[in-house]
Amino acid sequence: MKLLKISLIALVLFCSYCGAQENRLAVSTFESSLIEKAKTHENAWEYWGLTKQEWDRYTSIKEKSPWSVWKNEATPLAILSHYSSSPAEKIRYARIAAELDQWRENTVLEWQAIYNHEREIVYEKNRAVAEAKKPDVKNITASDRVLYFVEAGPCEARCRALTNRLLTTSAHIDIFVRKAKTEKEVFAWATAANIPVDRVHVKQITLNMENNYMDMVTTTPISLIEFPIAYLQTKSEYKAVIF
């Protein structure tokens, strides 16, 4: 009895081993089949996994059946299956079609993954180039001229923060106070914003009423602009400064 149990266990293990081997063989065969789908062929029927005889039958069906005029996306495999009376043939055509679809899906997904990776690289490079072209306040030099548009009245927290950052540069700064009706209002804003008097005296900083000067600098509607805002003057245009 003990010997019988051992024999049965050995048989079960052997069957499991055989089954595993068969599964590995099936997977290997399937992978090889998908690899074959990636090849190009001289003859169309070879791509579809058909014989010349089957291809001739397909073309004949196309010419002598409603499939010649119907608008459809039926493949040669599907049409041959529609007109086949053999279950084995139908299964074969379906299997080939499924393998082709799987190969196509695999290659599309692989391409999409590669594209997504490369797109991220290109995006980052483009973003870096775009950022480099934007006039960041920290890159402004003494040779630059900046036009700074503010609004009359108290210089609140955001106004003071931006103004202080701009004042850390050595650029020539022309300040335009919007809605100021008199020079007194311009000077009042400058005092509230702690504009250095010595830099005004040497005209490194100028204080001005706006007088619609902003229309010459930007075409953006005033209603869409948040003040204060600064523009770097270049040879051909004015560029909004990034704080």
d(CA 69, CA 32) in angstroms, rounded, equals: 37
Given a cut of 80, is residue 127 above it in pLDDT? yes
- For 18-32, 118-132, 175-189, which range has the lowest pLDDT when averaged over its residues? 18-32
Give the count of beta carbons closer than 10 Å to the beta carbon of residue 37.
17
Q: What is the pLDDT of residues 79-96, one digit of tens each?
A: 999 999 999 999 999 999
d(CA 107, CA 30) in angstroms, rounded, equals: 16
Which two structure tokens, joined as six digits, stand for 192?
Answer: 């509230």
At residue 73, the pLDDT reads: 84
All CATH 3.40.30 domain ranges in the chain, comma separated: 137-240
- For 58-72, 104-118, 119-133, which range has the lowest pLDDT when averaged over its residues? 119-133
Q: What is the pLDDT of residues 131-190, one digit of tens each?
A: 766 788 988 999 999 999 999 999 999 999 999 999 999 999 999 999 999 999 999 999
Map the chain to HEC letters.
CHHHHHHHHHHHHHHHHHHHHHHHHHHHHHHHHHHHHCCCCCCHHHHCCCCHHHHHHHHHHHHHCHHHCCCCCCCHHHHHHHCCCCHHHHHHHHHHHHHHHHHHHHHHHHHHHHHHHHHHHHHHHHHHHHHHHCCEHHHCCCCCEEEEEEECCCCCHHHHHHHHHHHCCCCEEEEEEECCCCHHHHHHHHHHCCCCHHHHHCCCEEEEECCCHHHHCCCCCHHHCCCCEEEEECCCCEEECEC
Q: Residue holding tokens 């300040």?
A: 175
At residue 181, the pLDDT reads: 93
At residue 90, the pLDDT reads: 96
Peptide bond into 228 cis (omega under 30): yes
pTM higher than 0.75: no
137-240 to CATH, choices 1.10.60, 3.40.50, 3.40.30, 3.40.390: 3.40.30
At residue 25, the pLDDT reads: 46
Q: How confident is the model at residue 26 (pLDDT cuts 50, 70, 90)?
A: low
